[in-house]
Structures are given as C-alpha cells and as structure tokens.
Chains A and B, each alone.
Chain A
Amino acid sequence: MADVNIKINGRDFAVPAGSTILDACRLCGIRIPTLCFMREINEIGACRICMVEVKGARSLVAACVFPVNEGMEIFTNTPKVIESRKTTLKLILSTHNKTCLQCVRSGSCELQKLCQEYGIENEDEFAGAVPNTHVDDTAVHMIRDNSKCVLCRRCVAVCDKNQGCAVIGPNNRGFDTEIGCNFNLDLASVACISCGQCINVCPTGALHERDDTQKVFDAINDPEKIVLVQTAPSVRVGLGEEFGNPIGTIVTGKMVSAIRALGVDKVFDTNFAADLTIMEEATEFIRRYTQKDNLPMFTSCSPGWIKFIEYYHPDMLPHLSSCKSPQGMFGATAKTYYAQKIGVDPKNIYVVSVMPCSAKKFEAQRPEMSAAEGCPDIDVVLTVRELARMIRKAGIMFNELPDGEFDAPFGLGSGAGTIFGATGGVMEAALRTAYEVLTGEELKELEFTDVRGTQGIKEATYNIAGNEIKVAVCSGTANADKLVRMIKSGEKNYDFVEIMACPGGCVNGGGQPIQPAYVRNNVDIRAVRAAALYRDDENLPVRKSHENPDIKAVYAEFFGEPGGEKSEEILHTHYTPRTRYTVK
C-alpha cells in the first residue's frame, strides 16, 4: 500500500496508508497505551486510554481506531493527553476493587501497569458509589470477580468471535453494566466450554483460573500418597515465559527439575500418553474408514471442543473418536497398569496433570473418567500459570536449575507426541502412524506441512495405500462451528478432522502464561510457540508414536493391542449430549 506522510511529535514519518494512529506510532517507535483494543476482534474504541492529540481536530481522538491521513500531525504525550489518560485511569479506579496485594494478577495486570506508568498519585480522587458486583465461582475451571472488571469487553469478544460461544456479554446499562451470562445465570449453568480464552485476554484480575495448587502441596505432604505429575506437550514451551524467558523457549529439562524439586514422586511426560492416543486413534480411524462408520471422524483430545460439540452440535457426537484425551489416557494407565506394576492401591496414587488448558479441569471431574474402580483418572489439573506459582512459592530458582530427565516408564515421548501442542499436530502424528500401518512401508517425508500453520481451517488430501484420505484441521471453536455446519449441510466432506478448541491449539491454551494485549496485538504468539515445538520434534530421536519403545512395552505388558478389549475399557470413553439454553 502507498505511504502517507505524517508528523509524530514534530518529527516526519512515512507510514502505510490506512494504518491506525496506534499502528503508525508503533512503526515509528512509540507505544500508545491500550486497554480495550484487541486486533481484529475488539476494535471498539471504548476505553479512551489511547487518546492522542491531532492538529486541527476538535477533541482528542482514539488512536486504536482513528486512521492516519496525508499531512496529519499527531502529538502523543502533550500535557493534555497525559491529563486525559490520568483522568480515565482515575475514573476506572473509582469503581475498582483496588486490592492489588492479594490479587492474582498483581505484577502482570495491565491496569496496574498503566497506573504506575502514569504516576496515579491519588487513586481515590473520584471515590463515590461503586456498582453492586458479585463473584461467580460456580465454574470448575475459573472465577469471575466483576469488582475488578474494567469493562474492556476483551473476554466478550474472544468468547463470541474466536470461540463461537458468546455465553458472556454486557448486561444492563450505564452504571449497572456488568459482564455476565443470559438471565444472570452463573457460568456453570450456561454453555461455557471452559476453554479459558477469556482469562488469557483479561487485562486485570477479574478473570482467573480456579487455583488448585494447595491440593497439590497437600498431596505432596501426605506420606500415604504417591504423587505422579504429567506435563502436556505444550507446557514445555509455555512455562519459561513465567520466568522471564522469551516466547518460544523450550524449557523441558528445567521444568522436570523444578517439578521434582517440589517433592513429587515421579515426573512423567504426557507426550508418552499422546503417543498412546495416536496408537488408539489411528487404529480407530483405520477401522472406521474401512467400515465407513460415522465419517468424518473427529479427534477428541481437546476437552473444550468436546464440551462444545456436546452443547452446540450434540447430534454429531457419534462422529467423535472414543479415545480419551492424552491426559485421560495417562491417568487411566497410571491407576491401572502402573499401580499394578508397582504394587500399590490406585487410591494412593495421586495424579497431577500440568496442562496448558483450563478445560482439562472440567474433563478431570467427569464421572466417566475413572478406569480404576472408585478412583478418578486425574486427581487435579494445574494450568501452566499455577505450576509457575508453586515453583515461585517453593523458592525454586527456575532459570538456575540443571536440566532434568523424565522418569521411566512414561518418560519417553516421540516427536509426534510433542507436536500435539500445535494445531495440526495430532493429524500429522496420526498420519505418520496410519501411513506406515496401512502401507507397511517406511514413511520417508515425515512433515505434513499442509496441516501446519495457524489458519483457522486447513484442508488436505493424502493418498495412502491407494486411498484418497480427505482431512481437515481446525482450531478455535468458532471455526469448528463453521466447519461442522458445512459438514452437516453437505457442502464439505472429509474422512478425518482434527479440532482444537483454542485458536492455534494448546500452545495458545487458556492455561498458558498470560501475555498482555500489547504483545498479543503485535506478535503471533501461537506461531512462535508452535515453531519451537516443531523444532523440538525435529531434534528428537523417535518421531513416530508407534516406534516409541515405552509404548511398545505398555502394549506388550498390559494392553495387548490398540483397539483391543482392555484398551477399549481403559483408554476410551463416551460423551453426554447437553442442552445449550436453560432458564434456570
């Protein structure tokens, strides 16, 4: 696009025509503060923190939505601008529950940071009536505390535009405006899929995951309990950010050492269970493909997606793979095979999952997730953020730790397991195995690049052993909704479809470290984290699930064969149709 000439604070610049003032200034090295702005999904110009002066304009303008034009003269930090931003902040503070000392977001809060930057010396200048808000702690995965809400509506935008759920929105008007659900129902009573995407975009402490760290500390201190920790593929690429590492840093070794230092008994790799999932899922797919049984088959490793299809397209449930998610397969295997192997009552085995995901908290408490009589497969799920909190609380100096190794016998994961963390990864992993099973030949080119990348919907056709297999890969449940509707109408047809609830897959899960909007708006964190996982895959000695020696052992010693009777009983599950809307 052609450039236009503008002046910023008296200096000349040429910037692409059509840019907003916000983007133009950024290109010229000036960061304008934002609060409500989220690129593409929440460009509503509502919060007024980004105001700047434009020569000739009657009043200050909102930089996030105002486009530049030829000859425009912009001033970003005049006394008038600074005064306006300070007033905006003080007005927000006048109704804000300012309890930073006990707030989960203190230190990573965008409001707190802005108040520091602008030197708000009197936070009570506009003190007065405060709206009547309440805390919604009904959901398994998260808490909403509207006394800390700044009404930026970022959560509303992701829930609607990215997740296709729209279970939250602004209710009432004026002073009484509050983000909530229809009919003022609590979050547990509406079709929320527990994805946690709203938490990741909230600038303040109004939304946060339910903190289950104390349960884990208690289990560690209980001499009766054998505490096993599993870490999901994408935790290794997220966790480092909590300790100041750049986005996309793989910290597998330090993560293992840190968890071990917390005093748990064993540290295992969910990548092992991801390989197990591939063995089961590829086998199921080959059977269903041959028998033309409810195609396309949908993957079932994303519990946010499972909840989505249960609520929004219950008629499509027969299309879901019956495989438990990797975390579920791990828990089930730990409480059956491993309990037997070490001769311990499964009731004394305490399984902790560290996940990039808040929906896994919901999955863990599903009654059907219980392979050993009377025991849940998973005892507690921690998000990456909670694990980091435990590490800090325990005084473990994360960045100084030596690299540790996972414990046997679930310590080995293939590269196929690692890439589960990125959208397209499960499909690629399944294809690597399905190809070799179907053709009996060695797969030379391991990279299925058509299914990589962060686009919401990707399609490809692969010729495997004379079969044209049509696949699709989709992330973000709003895209899933679109795809499912096209499948239902007959506009699209596929054999195998991978769906992840979070845009970009688990690397961008609702339990990953929070990056502020000014980072998210300018860096595609999904792509950077995913690229790191693909590099990790390339460097691993085993890159196909069926070649993982730990997997071979667990089938030889316990499960027999993929899709066999024992694995059907322990590693597979069933689903529950749910009603999207209720009155009470």
Chain B
Amino acid sequence: MVKKISEVAFRDTPEQAARFEKVIAENKHDKSRLMAVMQEAQDIYGYLPSEIQIRIAEGMDVPAEKVYGVATFYAQFALSPKGKYAISVCLGTACYVKGSQQVLDKICETLGIEPGSCTADAKFSLDACRCVGACGLAPVMMINDEVYGRLSPDDVEGILAKYE
C-alpha cells in the first residue's frame, strides 16, 4: 500500500527538537546509521514528518529522496501521526468475510481520509490491521483501547460522534 503523507501541520516542542538534534549530532558522521536515526526520530515525533526527513537529510548529508525512499519502503515507518483517537479496523479473514471492508470504507467516507492517514485537525487517524484476536466479534474495530464488535457501516457515524 502506498503511504499517505500527513496533512497535519508539523509542530515540535523545544524538548523534542533538542532530543532530535542530539540524535543527529551523534550520528552525522556515519551514513550507515540512517535507518537507526530515522527510527529514533520516529520515536520522538511518533511519525516522520517531511520537515524532519529534510533535517535528517541535511544533518546526515544524505539526499532527501533516499530518506523518503527508505521511509516508504519499510513498514515500520509512518508518514502520518496517530490522531488523538487512533482507529484501527481489522481486515483479518474473519472480519473481512463479515464485511469489515465496508465498515472501513464508511469511515473513510465519513472522515474524508484514507487508511494510513490522519485528519487535518489531528483528531482521528485511521489504519487497517490484521487480526486483533477478537474473531468472535467480527467485524471489529478499535478506537484507542476501546473495542467495537459486530459492526455494520450504519454504526460508524454514531460511534465517531461519541469522540469529541
């Protein structure tokens, strides 16, 4: 799946910036540390904002396209932050045959975003996932730690409205 670049405006706290600059300073002389630096940056920011990819590129003296290529190749890197409410819809076999794709489509339509991305106000992020181990409740989705089971597309709007 092609990763979507977040439309959420990039913001960092002085504390995050300081931690990030320290990571760059410690690794800038060793280009082979690129992926490790990207991982640490993601730990700091929760994802890899484009602005941070550019700073990694400049700091490590590696072209930004290489950073972006790595970020889009490996599943571990996210280009979009998690929202205040992280929605995750199960597309595992059991959920899928019970219609979780339609539930996912309905969420996409309601929030106007695609899986792997986050609403511009950073409130909701949406991901598809594999089995969450609640097949008896299929189709299932989770919002943060809350599990919702036996869903139909018609339930979506009501559930989302609960999150303010």
A583 to B79, CA, bound (A): 13
Partner of A182, one of B2, B51, B53, B73: B53
At the interface, yes or no: A78 with Cβ under 8 Å from chain B?
Answer: no
With a CB–CB cut-off of 8 A, which chain A residues contact B54?
Answer: 581, 583
Contact residues, B46-103 vs A (CB, 8 A):
50-51, 53-54, 57-58, 63-69, 72-74
Partner of A168, one of B50, B58, B65, B67: B65
Contact residues, B18-52 vs A (CB, 8 A):
50-51
Greatest chain A CB density within 10 A among B50, B53, B54, B65 is at: B65
Per-position contact with B for A166-207: 1 when CB-CB < 8 Å, else 0? 111111110010000111100000100000000000000000
Instruction: Decide: B50 and A172 in contact? CB cutoff 8 A.
Output: no
Instruction: Decide: A176 and B51 in contact? CB cutoff 8 A.
Output: no
Kindly report which residue of chain B lies nearest to residue A170, judged by CB atoms: B69
B interface residue count range (under 10 / 10 to 19 / 20 to 34 / 35 or more): 20 to 34
With a CB–CB cut-off of 8 A, which chain B residues contact A165?
Answer: 63
At the interface, yes or no: B161 with Cβ under 8 Å from chain A?
Answer: no
With a CB–CB cut-off of 8 A, which chain A residues contact B65?
Answer: 166-169, 181-182, 190
Partner of A581, one of B3, B5, B57, B73: B57
Q: Least Cβ distance of B51 to chain A in Å?
A: 6
Q: Least Cβ distance of A156 to chain B in Å?
A: 9
Say what secondary structure dominates the interface of chain B.
helix
With a CB–CB cut-off of 8 A, which chain B residues contact A167?
Answer: 63, 65
Per-position contact with A for B3-14: 1 when CB-CB < 8 Å, else 0? 101000000000
With a CB–CB cut-off of 8 A, which chain B residues contact A132?
Answer: 2
A184 to B71, CA, bound (A): 12
Given known A-B contacts A183-B50, A583-B51, A173 and B72 have beta carbons under 8 A apart: yes
Kindly report which residue of chain A lies nearest to residue B73, judged by CB atoms: A173
Instruction: Decide: A166 and B63 in contact? CB cutoff 8 A.
Output: yes
At the interface, yes or no: A568 with Cβ under 8 Å from chain B?
Answer: no
Partner of B66, one of A169, A184, A583: A169
A172 to B68, CA, bound (A): 9
At the interface, yes or no: B1 with Cβ under 8 Å from chain A?
Answer: yes
At the interface, yes or no: A211 with Cβ under 8 Å from chain B?
Answer: no
Instruction: Decide: B72 and A166 in contact? CB cutoff 8 A.
Output: no
At the interface, yes or no: A405 with Cβ under 8 Å from chain B?
Answer: no
At the interface, yes or no: A160 with Cβ under 8 Å from chain B?
Answer: yes
Instruction: Decide: A172 and B67 in contact? CB cutoff 8 A.
Output: no
With a CB–CB cut-off of 8 A, which chain A residues contact B3?
Answer: 172
Greatest chain B CB density within 10 A among A165, A168, A170, A173 is at: A173
Given known A-B contacts A184-B5, A581-B54, A166 and B68 have beta carbons under 8 A apart: no
Kindly report which residue of chain B lies nearest to residue A583, judged by CB atoms: B50
Instruction: Decide: B69 and A169 in contact? CB cutoff 8 A.
Output: yes
Given known A-B contacts A166-B63, A166-B65, A581 and B58 have beta carbons under 8 A apart: yes
With a CB–CB cut-off of 8 A, which chain B residues contact A170?
Answer: 69, 73
A106 to B64, CA, bound (A): 34
A571 to B63, CA, bound (A): 35
Instruction: Decide: B57 and A172 in contact? CB cutoff 8 A.
Output: no
Q: Least Cβ distance of A175 to chain B in Å?
A: 10
Given known A-B contacts A160-B63, A581-B54, A583-B50, A183 and B2 have beta carbons under 8 A apart: no
Given known A-B contacts A182-B53, A581-B58, A583-B51, A176 and B66 have beta carbons under 8 A apart: no
Per-position contact with B for A572-583: 1 when CB-CB < 8 Å, else 0? 000000000101
Per-position contact with A for B112-142: 1 when CB-CB < 8 Å, else 0? 0000000000000000000000000000000
Kindly report which residue of chain A lies nearest to residue B64, judged by CB atoms: A182
Q: Least Cβ distance of B115 to chain A in Å?
A: 14
With a CB–CB cut-off of 8 A, which chain A residues contact B53?
Answer: 182-183
A176 to B54, CA, bound (A): 23
With a CB–CB cut-off of 8 A, which chain B residues contact A181?
Answer: 65
Q: Least Cβ distance of B61 to chain A in Å?
A: 10
Instruction: Decide: B72 and A172 in contact? CB cutoff 8 A.
Output: yes
With a CB–CB cut-off of 8 A, which chain A residues contact B69?
Answer: 169-171, 182
Instruction: Decide: A166 and B5 in contact? CB cutoff 8 A.
Output: no
Kindly report which residue of chain B lies nearest to residue A160, judged by CB atoms: B63
A480 to B68, CA, bound (A): 25
A484 to B53, CA, bound (A): 25
With a CB–CB cut-off of 8 A, which chain A residues contact B66?
Answer: 166, 169
A171 to B74, CA, bound (A): 10
Partner of A172, one of B58, B63, B64, B73: B73
Instruction: Decide: B5 and A172 in contact? CB cutoff 8 A.
Output: no
With a CB–CB cut-off of 8 A, which chain A residues contact B50?
Answer: 183, 583
A583 to B53, CA, bound (A): 10
With a CB–CB cut-off of 8 A, which chain A residues contact B1?
Answer: 176
With a CB–CB cut-off of 8 A, which chain A residues contact B64?
Answer: 182-183, 581
A190 to B65, CA, bound (A): 10
Instruction: Decide: B58 and A171 in contact? CB cutoff 8 A.
Output: no
A169 to B1, CA, bound (A): 18
With a CB–CB cut-off of 8 A, which chain B residues contact A190?
Answer: 65
Contact residues, A149-172 vs B (CB, 8 A):
160, 165-172
With a CB–CB cut-off of 8 A, which chain A residues contact B74?
Answer: 173
Greatest chain A CB density within 10 A among B2, B5, B63 is at: B63
Instruction: Decide: B67 and A182 in contact? CB cutoff 8 A.
Output: yes
A residues at B contact (CB < 8 Å) = 132, 160, 165-173, 176, 181-184, 190, 581, 583
Across the A-B interface, give the 6 residue pairs with the lowest CB-CB distance, nearest first.
A166-B63, A182-B68, A182-B64, A182-B65, A169-B65, A169-B69
A-B contact pairs, 5 of them (CB 8 A): A166-B65, A172-B72, A173-B73, A181-B65, A183-B68
Question: What 12 new A-B contacts, CB under 8 Å, besides A169-B66, A182-B65?
Answer: A160-B63, A166-B65, A166-B66, A167-B65, A169-B68, A169-B69, A171-B69, A172-B2, A173-B74, A181-B65, A182-B63, A183-B64
